[in-house]
Chains A and B, each alone.
Chain A
């Protein structure tokens, strides 16, 4: 009877459990981060898809292979509808504000031909990389033509140079940087007047010793048919508030697909030693096709291999991952561009002609806020938030490191060691250990020294006591 009833209880409990919907089931993708050991560990989801919009919903007719997306400082969404050669401007509520179909260029009516890149300055000037026409077009906020910038002209550029601008950014000083198709010399830089000033920030040439060996033993004819060692072209770019330029390279072999270029074109991206920002750590590596820089050195990169958005902080540590390839809301078919504005991330899908909006969850906003405080050096305030993050995700190593650093500042060395060990930060663990060691020695040095001296003295006395009778005995022996 008792067994029967307990079985009944067990079955009913199991039934109830199986009926309860899993809360994570709401998202079409799983949240995860990478541990220090490079293992993917589950993590709560930081952003959830909230809504999506396509050309039909926007009332402009379906978008045809939209290539780029831009969110202006006021939160207006600029969609570059490449296939139809137009720009659609949406406001925050996703009502269509304007559609820029073409423009009056001097005498004639002009339009875009398969443009791929779009940038809007803080002043509201729209820059379009009009790819097939081989020019940049600058429009003002209402869509009135301002000027066009043609191919770069200089002695260093050969006669056979084909100019197909793909992406464009403009920094605070009005300098224009262009990513060209097949241009491996780096970004094409124009000054604010549209004069070509040079290339900047090339990728390094990559080859492995095996290739070099085969090249050195092959004949001239064979060599000509081989792949040349040329640096890879950039495929996308963004600029942060301090004027640093971020670039991405769609190369699955490199360990630095993301670069942060300073004004002289040198990569100054901070990279974590263990895991550089390369997306997924699998054999089939991520291919980054867009980058979006938000405040505090946080940047998001869009991976086309699995349709994921990876968010890294300024130290190159992975904060969270969202998105996936698929056919649900929140998954993509062929993602093309990522942008973020306040608490939302927007991803543009080229094949579906659709923008998906993701809004931040409680976990995501706590991570964002804690990271902001952390990177601005407010470790103690950050530590409070990190503790909250740990309640939701005990796998979150950055939180342990954050708390550990805060404890280290407060002088709680021993506890700091525990947290820094959990967060796998050897450098700061070692600092905490050094401080703890000194503190420990200060407290216990006298005790230990007293102990050691007591033991030595005691030993000496015992030895003397033991030895003396022997000596006498020996003397006696000698006498007898």
Chain B
């Protein structure tokens, strides 16, 4: 059962990141389809979480829930992160290939699923006073994810600790730059389109 083996390996990465990410890069144990699967599973988990997390900690307006938003806030940032990280590390002597970055980031997301699902179940039976446990677990999931991402980046690019931290912070800055350029690009395209349309209108009305 290769699929079960993949799952077992991704769990191994989550608890033994140094070992796991090394194998991922140098033994080719990481699978792209597994990373994308984890990403999909995370999106699903987040959709479920928004809707079904216990009422005591659920501050979402039920009429404002939209699954497309989860795609926007998970898949899009994921791709942006990978893209920014790849563009940055090619300039900073990183050894990771784009595929490896995607796989690493994907595997690092696993704790979010591992903690969120029991947390959703738990949140349905806790009272307001116990809500801090829910928030604690939530924070732990995020910390674990950041930890894995850190180790993953370090291993994949063969960086030192300090360089990894700088790279990760710079990656965030690059994400911001990409978003800015994207918006600028779309804005300019919009201007051009409206200009061409105005010219067309002018001509057609005169003709």
Question: Which residues of chain A are near B8, meaning CB under 8 Å?
Answer: none
A421 on interface, CB distance cutoff 8 Å: yes
Chain B interface secondary structure, helix, strand, loop or mixed? loop
Is B56 a contact partner of A429 (Cβ separation < 8 A)?
yes
Q: Who on chain A is nearest to B56 by CB?
A: A430
B5 on interface, CB distance cutoff 8 Å: no
Is B61 a contact partner of A430 (Cβ separation < 8 A)?
no
Q: How far is the CB of A186 from chain B (nearest CB, A)?
A: 37
- Place the interface of chain B in its size category: under 10
Question: Which residues of chain B are near A429, meaning CB under 8 Å?
Answer: 55-56
A282 to B128, CA, bound (A): 31
Q: Who on chain A is nearest to B54 by CB?
A: A433
- Among the listed B56, B61, B63, which residue makes an inter-chain contact with A433, where contact means beta carbons less than 8 Å apart? B56
Q: How far is the CB of B62 from chain A (nearest CB, A)?
A: 9
Chain A interface secondary structure, helix, strand, loop or mixed? helix
Is B61 a contact partner of A434 (Cβ separation < 8 A)?
no
Question: Which residues of chain B are near A443, meaning CB under 8 Å?
Answer: none
A433 to B56, CA, bound (A): 9
Q: How far is the CB of B52 from chain A (nearest CB, A)?
A: 14
Q: Which of B55, B56, B127 has the most CB of A within 10 A?
A: B127
Q: How far is the CB of A104 from chain B (nearest CB, A)?
A: 65
Q: Who on chain B is nearest to A421 by CB?
A: B55
A437 to B127, CA, bound (A): 9
Of residues 46 to 92 in B, which have CB atoms within 8 Å of A's CB atoms?
55-56, 61, 63
A37 on interface, CB distance cutoff 8 Å: yes
- Among the listed A37, A421, A431, which residue makes an inter-chain contact with B127, where contact means beta carbons less than 8 Å apart? A431
Is A37 a contact partner of B129 (Cβ separation < 8 A)?
no
A426 on interface, CB distance cutoff 8 Å: yes
Question: Which residues of chain A are near B129, meaning CB under 8 Å?
Answer: 430, 434
Question: Which residues of chain A are near B173, meaning CB under 8 Å?
Answer: none
Q: How far is the CB of A401 from chain B (nearest CB, A)?
A: 14
Question: Which residues of chain B are near A430, meaning CB under 8 Å?
Answer: 56, 127-129
Is A37 a contact partner of B128 (Cβ separation < 8 A)?
no
Q: Who on chain B is nearest to A36 by CB?
A: B61
Q: How far is the CB of B103 from chain A (nearest CB, A)?
A: 37
A477 on interface, CB distance cutoff 8 Å: no
A427 on interface, CB distance cutoff 8 Å: yes
B183 on interface, CB distance cutoff 8 Å: no
Question: Which residues of chain A are near B61, meaning CB under 8 Å?
Answer: 37
Q: Who on chain A is nearest to B55 by CB?
A: A421
Question: Which residues of chain A are near B189, meaning CB under 8 Å?
Answer: none
Q: How far is the CB of B79 from chain A (nearest CB, A)?
A: 32
B114 on interface, CB distance cutoff 8 Å: no
Of residues 407 to 438 in A, which have CB atoms within 8 Å of B's CB atoms?
421, 426-427, 429-431, 433-434, 437
B139 on interface, CB distance cutoff 8 Å: no
B125 on interface, CB distance cutoff 8 Å: yes
Q: Who on chain B is nearest to A428 by CB?
A: B128
A421 to B59, CA, bound (A): 12
A437 to B129, CA, bound (A): 14
The interface of chain B, by Cβ under 8 A from chain A, is: 55-56, 61, 63, 125, 127-129
**A426-B56, A429-B55, A430-B128 given. 7 additional CB < 8 A pairs?**
A429-B56, A430-B56, A430-B129, A431-B127, A433-B127, A434-B127, A437-B127
14 A-B pairs with CB atoms under 8 Å apart are A37-B61, A421-B55, A426-B55, A426-B56, A426-B128, A427-B128, A430-B56, A430-B127, A430-B128, A430-B129, A433-B56, A434-B127, A437-B125, A437-B127
